[in-house]
Amino acid sequence: MHIAMTEIRTLPVQTVRKLPLVARRLIEKNKQRRISDKTGGDFRGRLDKTVSYLRWKAACATLSDAIGYIASELERERLYGLYRKIFPKEWELSRASFHRTGYNDCHTEREIEFIELVSERYFPLCSWLDWSDFRFDHIPIEPVNYDFCCDEYEWQHFRPCLQFALQAFLWRDTDIADENWTDMLSSFNVEFEELPQIERATPPFSILNDGRDNPKIQRFLHLIEFIFHDSGNPFIDTTYCQPLDLYEWNYENLEKLKADYSGVKVYFESMDSLDEDIARDARSAFKELITIWNTGLLPTNRRQREAAEKADKERGLLINILDVDENQAETALTF
């Protein structure tokens, strides 16, 4: 009775030397890495499978295909390294496999687990992308803003402060003949004639930046930066119809984007504050926003204006009195 035996051979050195440079680097890197059963399973077994696959790929496919395969494996190893560094406890406890299973042709179960952790604890990754059908060489972030220019929106779709700011400052449809503008004002029980005219194409940013410490000036700037996508924060400034900033998968970029996403909170807090003021007194809130746009300064109420005018008159009266006293003194000396 003959028992069929499978011949086990290692990859000859000459064959390895003929492989592309990136393939040789991966093999050498894998030789030096050992992952215990607790953290990574049978890595040597997976290495043997990789070597077997490379041997078949080198013999039966093009060089370009082989290089593409190795590149994807290097990307996979990069995600594993980030997983171990950023979420070490979760990595140790993970039971997700290092295989692609089910419908997912591009990512292993362990990669998908890491991607989900980033989305839950750092910042949201694009929810509409099909991770099962494509590998993303760069971090695909999920914008929190709207594409006000290219997408078709009606003003009713937005929160109160955006309803006003888009019409007044971005779309600039503030003529009495514009139905959207007058309808929007009417929805807040505000008449066109009750508001000052918008006198500038852009606000005086030099004055505004000097007054940024004032909470009302700051929330106005947050509103303007939000609608013009000019905050410096990629989660606010990015739109789907414009090229994204491409962030490679590395530790520094993940930490930066985590901080950027935390910074989004202050913009929504500013808009919450504006919405509260609009709910209390829409006419006064709209007047304030237009005045800041026109002058870079907060409007003054009647009492403040009267007090300022009174102070100016008193200063003028005092100056006149002093001038009279000086003239009388000089006259007395001439005698």
Extract the tokens encoding 88: 């070490």
Specify whether 117 is located in the same domain as 168: no
The residue among 292 and 61 whose pLDDT is bigger is 292
The chain-wide mean pLDDT, for the chain, equals 78
Polymer length in residues for the chain: 335
Cβ neighbours of residue 134 under 8 Å, at least 6 residues apart?
106
Could you give the residue ranges of the DSSP H alpha helices within the chain?
A: 13-18, 21-32, 43-60, 63-86, 88-93, 109-121, 160-165, 179-187, 205-210, 215-227, 234-237, 251-280, 282-295, 302-334
In a domain, 83, yes or no: yes
- Cα distances (angstroms) measured from residue 4 to each of 1, 7, 8, 71, 121: 10, 9, 13, 37, 53
In a domain, 276, yes or no: yes
The residue among 234 and 138 whose pLDDT is bigger is 234
In a domain, 280, yes or no: yes
Extract the tokens encoding 217: 């000036």
Specify whether 182 is located in the same domain as 89: no
In a domain, 97, yes or no: yes
Instruction: Please report, rounded to a whole number, the percentage of residues in the chain having pLDDT higher than 70.
Output: 63
Domain range for 40 = 13-121
In a domain, 129, yes or no: no
- Of the residues 77, 96, 121, the one at which a domain ends: 121
Most confidently modeled range among 53-67, 68-82, 304-318: 68-82
What is the Cα–Cα distance from 196 to 193, expressed in whole angstroms? 8
Extract the tokens encoding 188: 């807040």
In a domain, 311, yes or no: no
Q: What's the domain count of the chain?
A: 2
Specify whether 169 is located in the same domain as 267: yes
| Most distant CA pair in the chain, distance | 148
In a domain, 326, yes or no: no
The residue among 72 and 184 whose pLDDT is bigger is 184
- Of the residues 105, 121, 137, the one at which a domain ends: 121
Residue type, 188: F
Cβ neighbours of residue 27 under 8 Å, at least 6 residues apart?
16, 19, 50, 51, 54
CB 250 within 8 A of CB 259: no
Helix or strand or coil: residue 248?
strand
Least confident of 106-115, 247-256, 324-333: 324-333
Specify whether 116 is located in the same domain as 195: no
Report the pLDDT averaged over residues 15-36: 58
How far from the centroid of its chain's Cα atoms is residue 214's Cα? 24
- The answer on pLDDT for 265 being more than 70 is yes
**Dihedral angle sign, alpha carbons of residues 183, 184, 189, 191:** negative
Least confident of 86-95, 102-111, 219-228, 251-260: 102-111
In the chain the first and final C-alpha atoms are separated, in Å, by: 148
Predicted confidence band of residue 79 (pLDDT cuts 50, 70, 90): very high
Specify whether 115 is located in the same domain as 168: no
Q: Is the pTM of this model over 0.85?
A: no
Specify whether 159 is located in the same domain as 287: yes
Extract the tokens encoding 82: 């980030």
Question: For 23-32, how does the pLDDT look when each residue is reduced to its tens digit (9 = 90+)?
Answer: 666 666 655 5
Specify whether 72 is located in the same domain as 186: no
What is the Cα–Cα distance from 109 to 156, expressed in whole angstroms? 42
In a domain, 140, yes or no: no
Predicted confidence band of residue 10 (pLDDT cuts 50, 70, 90): low
Specify whether 251 is located in the same domain as 167: yes
Specify whether 114 is located in the same domain as 163: no
Specify whether 30 is located in the same domain as 87: yes
Helix or strand or coil: residue 20?
coil
CB 143 within 8 A of CB 243: no
Specify whether 95 is located in the same domain as 161: no
What is the Cα–Cα distance from 137 to 249, expressed in whole angstroms? 7
**Dihedral angle sign, alpha carbons of residues 131, 137, 139, 141:** negative
How far from the centroid of its chain's Cα atoms is residue 181's Cα? 30
Most confidently modeled range among 28-42, 188-202, 236-250, 277-291: 277-291
232 DSSP 8-state letter: S
Helix or strand or coil: residue 141?
strand
Predicted confidence band of residue 310 (pLDDT cuts 50, 70, 90): low
